[in-house]
Chain A
Amino acid sequence: MIELQGLSKAYPGSAVPVVRALSFTVEDGEFLVVIGESGSGKTTTLNMINRLIEPSAGRINVDGEDVLGLDAVSLRRRMGYVFQGAGLFPHMTVAENIAVTPRLLGWPKPDIDSRIDELLHLVRLAPADYRGRFPRELSGGQQQRVALARALAAKPKIMLMDEPFGALDPLIRDDLAEDYRQIHERLKLTTIFVTHDMTEAMLLGDRIAVMREGALIQIGTPNQLLGNPADDFVKALVDTPKKRARRLAEVLRVTP
């Protein structure tokens, strides 16, 4: 369980805080999507959970333990982290990229080797074909699959994902999103997933947290948001996929 209590981030010399007194809870096994426009503070919030960014105020508890009192580096090794643009290490092969965190944790080599194959299967890349490739020899979608495998390598229970599929073609993107949702179920992960695409949010999330100007506007299941939007902004946000679905249905009906 991840609990955020009064979490804030302000940068010195800037009057407006990036994140303001944010509080919400993510249950074990839950898939929470954080949505908002750019500048809404959603990425900052995510990065504060694994302390890539240090909060100015507030608390973060994971399974009842105060994260801010822990060593930031070992904390990050316990959480998976995937962000837009993959960020694979260009001088390492696929296998070496995936092995990074287990190596940092000092796993025995045979364990790492079998883990690499297991993960490549999980993200649907044939180990024999892909282990020895370099990132530049992969498509964007394949790179993102490897990044996902790398994040999962040390068997984290929590996954933090920052618009992980944002830069990909729609087809590949849906494919990957669907695959990941299955992985989330199968491995019983707790996922916090940042996006600005409401359709993606509704298709993936158990619950959706809507952020605007650093503050939490509303948090709830997709149906709660659809049925009872907190304000016009949320209403406009949820209307977009609704309208698109309706139009899509019309188009499909006309077509023979």
Chain B
Amino acid sequence: MNSFDEAWGNLPDFLSWHVLLSVSALALGLLLSLPLAVLATRSRILRGGALTFASLIQTIPSLALLALFYPVLLALSHFTQDNFGFGFRALGFLPALLALTLYSMLPVLRNTITALAGIDPAVKMAARGVGMTRWQSLFIVELPLAAPIIMAGIRTAAVWVIGTATLATPIGQTSLGNYIFTGLQTENYVFVLFGVVSAAGLTLIIDRLLALSEDGLARRSRARVIASLAGLAVVIGASLYPMFGHAERSVVIGTKSFDEQYILGNVLADKLKSAGIVTTRRDGLGSTVIFRALAAGDLDVYVDYSGTIWANEMKRADSPGRAAVLAQMADWMKKTYGIRYVGPLGFENAYAFAMPRAKADALHIATLADLAAYAPRMKIGGDFEIFSRPEWRAVQKAYGLKFGVQRQYQANLMYNAVSGGDVDVISAFSSDGRIAQYDLKVLGDPKGALPPYDAILLVSPAHANDDGLLMALKPLLGAIDLATMQRANLMVDRPDDKLSPQQAARWLEKKITPK
């Protein structure tokens, strides 16, 4: 299966979520902003307040706005759980919906306020003169007259929301953004392009249909408005159609935002599918978000790394050895969250500080300890997480490392940066095939500052005793060795002859299936 076919195959799922999310956010946004705008025309203070608030929302980068809702909702969910006995899913649809709703408000608010304020005073006078109440004047005269301008605002909001909905992917909401994020991560530009074109296409179609409505309202042509509404109903209905049918509760597979995770996500999906389990994907989540999501039941299964949980979640800085880490971690997760530790996959993907072999050899650097003397004159490149993780502080402390410059990269670009000489050292991943490809030297950790990072399978509290699921996952335990994982990763990462994560997953499955 080539990338295009794979992308095409995902379209019903991605598109239906994208449409559901955008339409819900727009509807909710309208429900809030229209009454607010009407009230605002009657109060100068409210008008100023509402417009300032909506403008302020626009100044927050959209990705950050979406991301910020997760912790807020999580706290709220804990609060309601503690006080009223119910919680809700803080990841995925809800935070995306709320952020996009806020995002949709400004154009509708502004246009509605402007349109209502711009109505000919003689017409408003006439409305009072013929004996209309304030509300009758509003609904019979003012709103219908303001409708074309309000509609223009709704169009702007629709374009913004449908575009911004692509950013819902990192907070665990499937959207057309899945193509873009996965594509960027795996340097699969067919995916990126597919995502961009489909999102733009959807935006264009909805915008044209709303334009027809706007035109219809301006010309008082009922036929145009009806045609537009019918068109919208068809587009939305057709997009949402794939959603009906899987009513059964599916098992949600999560992945973090790098290639190995996408490959393993596909492997998990295939394994569960062949066991007859219905699955849904939440791709490209952040390290902390994904663990919380599992604990909260927003996700059901994913692959994490023991050291990440050890350092980030358990806040441990010691390193008592591989077996002890796994045992204590399993125990802690079960007690604290009810999370089920299924077992290790068989390889380790550790944070590994690496530099070009030639340079390392020339300076006689073999370990992190050797690096300390050169560090102040060196530049280090890391992914988006490393410099804020406890492991980094532990390593810095253990070896007295102090780099002259720190830079953050998208994981893929990190390797280009170090081989191109932009930085001297990077925080590589030990299972990454590009360490070999770029001939990087992984520096030793003689003081054991870094914990082990065994790839491990985790299952949510709700499925902790789901025998069907656990049985389906069992064949993966201990099945993937480091060399196999590195090869699979390289298939996706290499610049030439790249495979998609799904293709690499198929290769990996074949490789680990006992003959």
Q: Which residue numbers of A lie inside 8 Å of B, CB to CB?
A: 50, 52, 73-77, 81, 83, 85-91, 100-101, 104, 134, 147, 150-151
Using Cβ atoms and an 8 Å threshold, which residues of chain A touch B131? 73-77, 101, 104
Q: By the criterion CB–CB under 8 Å, are B122 and A85 in contact?
A: yes
Alpha-carbon distance A88/B506, docked complex (angstroms):
71
Alpha-carbon distance A86/B129, docked complex (angstroms):
11
Say how far B475's CB is from chain A's closest CB, in angstroms.
68
Q: By the criterion CB–CB under 8 Å, are B129 and A83 in contact?
A: yes
Say yes or no: is B465 at the interface (Cβ < 8 Å to chain A).
no
Which of A52, A91, A134 is B129 in contact with, Cβ under 8 Å?
A52
Q: Give the residue name and chain of the A residue nearest to B127 (CB).
A: A89
Q: By the criterion CB–CB under 8 Å, are A101 and B130 in contact?
A: yes
Which of A73, A81, A85 is B133 in contact with, Cβ under 8 Å?
A73
Using Cβ atoms and an 8 Å threshold, which residues of chain A touch B120? 87, 90
Which of B126, B136, B144, B220 is A104 in contact with, Cβ under 8 Å?
B136
Q: By the criterion CB–CB under 8 Å, are B132 and A87 in contact?
A: no
Q: Give the residue name and chain of the B residue nearest to A77 (CB).
A: B131
B133-152: contact bitstring with A at CB < 8 Å (1 yes, 0 no)?
10010001100110000000
Say how far B215's CB is from chain A's closest CB, in angstroms.
15
Say yes or no: is B447 at the interface (Cβ < 8 Å to chain A).
no
Say how far B496's CB is from chain A's closest CB, in angstroms.
63
Q: By the criterion CB–CB under 8 Å, are B220 and A134 in contact?
A: yes
Using Cβ atoms and an 8 Å threshold, which residues of chain A touch B126? 83, 86-89, 147
Q: By the criterion CB–CB under 8 Å, are A73 and B132 in contact?
A: yes
B211-222: contact bitstring with A at CB < 8 Å (1 yes, 0 no)?
000000000100
Q: By the criterion CB–CB under 8 Å, are A76 and B129 in contact?
A: yes
Q: By the criterion CB–CB under 8 Å, are B125 and A83 in contact?
A: yes
Using Cβ atoms and an 8 Å threshold, which residues of chain B touch A90? 120, 123, 145
Say how far B221's CB is from chain A's closest CB, in angstroms.
12
Alpha-carbon distance A89/B132, docked complex (angstroms):
13
B100-141: contact bitstring with A at CB < 8 Å (1 yes, 0 no)?
000000000000000000001011011111111100100011
Q: Which residue numbers of B lie inside 8 Å of A, CB to CB?
A: 120, 122-123, 125-133, 136, 140-141, 144-145, 220
Using Cβ atoms and an 8 Å threshold, which residues of chain B touch A75? 131
Q: Give the residue name and chain of the B residue nearest to A87 (CB).
A: B126
Using Cβ atoms and an 8 Å threshold, which residues of chain A touch B141? 89, 91
Say how far A45's CB is from chain B's closest CB, in angstroms.
15
Q: By the criterion CB–CB under 8 Å, are A89 and B123 in contact?
A: yes
Q: By the criterion CB–CB under 8 Å, are B123 and A50 in contact?
A: no
Q: By the criterion CB–CB under 8 Å, are B123 and A81 in contact?
A: no
Q: By the criterion CB–CB under 8 Å, are A81 and B129 in contact?
A: yes
Q: Which 9 pairs from chain A and chain B are nearest by CB?
A: A87-B126, A77-B131, A81-B129, A76-B131, A87-B122, A85-B122, A101-B130, A91-B144, A100-B130
Q: By the criterion CB–CB under 8 Å, are B130 and A81 in contact?
A: yes
Using Cβ atoms and an 8 Å threshold, which residues of chain B touch A134? 220
Using Cβ atoms and an 8 Å threshold, which residues of chain B touch A50? 129
Q: Which of A50, A91, A104, A147 has the most CB of B within 10 A?
A: A91
Q: Which of B122, B131, B133, B140 has the most CB of A within 10 A?
A: B131
The answer to whether A104 and B132 touch (CB under 8 A), given A89-B141, A91-B145, A91-B220, is: yes
Alpha-carbon distance A128/B145, docked complex (angstroms):
26
Alpha-carbon distance A101/B131, docked complex (angstroms):
7
Alpha-carbon distance A84/B263, docked complex (angstroms):
75
Say how far A134's CB is from chain B's closest CB, in angstroms.
7
Q: By the criterion CB–CB under 8 Å, are B130 and A52 in contact?
A: no
Q: By the criterion CB–CB under 8 Å, are A104 and B129 in contact?
A: no
Alpha-carbon distance A231/B141, docked complex (angstroms):
46
Alpha-carbon distance A140/B132, docked complex (angstroms):
24
Using Cβ atoms and an 8 Å threshold, which residues of chain A touch B123? 87-90
Alpha-carbon distance A76/B130, docked complex (angstroms):
6
Alpha-carbon distance A134/B219, docked complex (angstroms):
11
Alpha-carbon distance A73/B131, docked complex (angstroms):
5
Say how far B222's CB is from chain A's closest CB, in angstroms.
12
30 contacts between A and B (CB under 8 A): A52-B125, A52-B129, A73-B132, A73-B133, A75-B131, A76-B128, A76-B129, A77-B131, A81-B129, A81-B130, A83-B125, A83-B126, A83-B129, A86-B126, A87-B120, A87-B126, A88-B123, A89-B127, A89-B140, A89-B141, A90-B123, A90-B145, A91-B141, A100-B140, A101-B130, A101-B131, A104-B131, A134-B220, A150-B130, A151-B130
Using Cβ atoms and an 8 Å threshold, which residues of chain A touch B220? 91, 134
Using Cβ atoms and an 8 Å threshold, which residues of chain A touch B125? 52, 83, 87
Alpha-carbon distance A104/B139, docked complex (angstroms):
13
Say how far B374's CB is from chain A's closest CB, in angstroms.
76
Which of A52, A86, A88, A91 is B128 in contact with, Cβ under 8 Å?
A52
Alpha-carbon distance A86/B144, docked complex (angstroms):
19
Using Cβ atoms and an 8 Å threshold, which residues of chain A touch B144? 91
Alpha-carbon distance A175/B158, docked complex (angstroms):
52
Say how far B284's CB is from chain A's closest CB, in angstroms.
48
Say how far A228's CB is from chain B's closest CB, in angstroms.
36
Q: By the criterion CB–CB under 8 Å, are B130 and A77 in contact?
A: yes
Given contact pairs A88-B123, A104-B131, a sample of 8 additional A-B residue pairs in the complex whose CB atoms are under 8 Å apart:
A81-B129, A83-B125, A86-B126, A87-B122, A87-B126, A89-B126, A100-B132, A134-B220
Using Cβ atoms and an 8 Å threshold, which residues of chain B touch A85? 122
Say how far B79's CB is from chain A's closest CB, in angstroms.
46
Q: Give the residue name and chain of the A residue nearest to B121 (CB).
A: A87
Q: By the criterion CB–CB under 8 Å, are B129 and A87 in contact?
A: yes
Alpha-carbon distance A83/B133, docked complex (angstroms):
19
Q: Give the residue name and chain of the B residue nearest to A101 (CB).
A: B130
Q: Give the residue name and chain of the B residue nearest to A105 (CB).
A: B131
Say how far B217's CB is from chain A's closest CB, in angstroms.
9
Alpha-carbon distance A127/B334, docked complex (angstroms):
82
Alpha-carbon distance A200/B140, docked complex (angstroms):
35
Using Cβ atoms and an 8 Å threshold, which residues of chain B touch A87? 120, 122-123, 125-126, 129
Q: Which of B123, B127, B141 has the most CB of A within 10 A?
A: B123
Say how far B353's CB is from chain A's closest CB, in angstroms.
70
